[in-house]
Amino acid sequence: MTKVVRWTPMNPVNLFNEFDRLFERPTTRSTNDWSIALDVAENDDAYMVKATVPGINPDDIEIVLEDDVLSLKGEILRDEEGEDVKYHVRERRYGSFSRSIRFPTTVNGDAVEATYNNGILSLNIPKAEAVKPKRITINAS
């Protein structure tokens, strides 16, 4: 049963009540869509994207690049559990995930390279030639 606790901004937060509330929260995850963690870096030639997707077969990850928008989709299946199993904590996520990002410049979708190693999906997405920086030489007379 959840306690109803009045919180008043004028009173200091009672640390013990906050600690009790921590253990009253549900410990199971729903199967609703969730977002995966991404790192996106850039250099002069390309964008590098790294996504953390442990526990999934790389063939089950859908990667689509359309109109400079990268979309990643997939599903991590829930472990089968026996009838006599009772979880005390269940924090690993399962279910469908999706994530989309728009690149600020035009990219070359025909030259994207994707690798998967130890639960990390790495993408190298080259920028289009038209947007790469060009060095201008000065002709002196």
Extents of the domains making up the chain: 29-131
In the chain, DSSP assigns E strands to: 38-42, 46-52, 62-66, 69-76, 95-102, 113-117, 120-126
pLDDT at 15 over 80: no
Q: What is the pLDDT of residues 3-12, one digit of tens each?
A: 555 555 544 5
Tell me the mean pLDDT in the region 77-97.
81
Tell me the mean pLDDT in the region 126-131.
85
Q: Residue 135's pLDDT band (boundaries 50, 70, 90)? A: confident
Domain 29-131: which topology? Immunoglobulin-like (2.60.40)
Q: What is the pLDDT of residues 21-78, one digit of tens each?
A: 555 554 444 445 567 889 999 998 999 999 998 888 899 999 999 999 999 999 888 7
Report the distance separating Cα 56 and Cα 43, nearest Å: 29
**Which spans in 9-137 are helix H?**
15-24
Model-level pTM? 0.66
What is the percent of the chain with per-residue pLDDT over 90, rounded to a whole number? 37
* Cα Rg, the chain, nearest whole Å: 23
CA distances from 102 to 5, 63, 71, 87, 138 (A): 43, 14, 9, 39, 35
Contact assessment for residue 63 and residue 138, using Cβ atoms and an 8 Å cutoff: no
Report the pLDDT value the prediction gives residue 29, as an integer from 0 to 100: 42
Report the pLDDT value the prediction gives residue 33, as an integer from 0 to 100: 57
Q: Which amino acid is at 12?
A: P
Contact assessment for residue 47 and residue 65, using Cβ atoms and an 8 Å cutoff: no
Contacts of 82 (CB under 8 A, 6+ apart): none
**Which spans in the chain are helix H?**
15-24
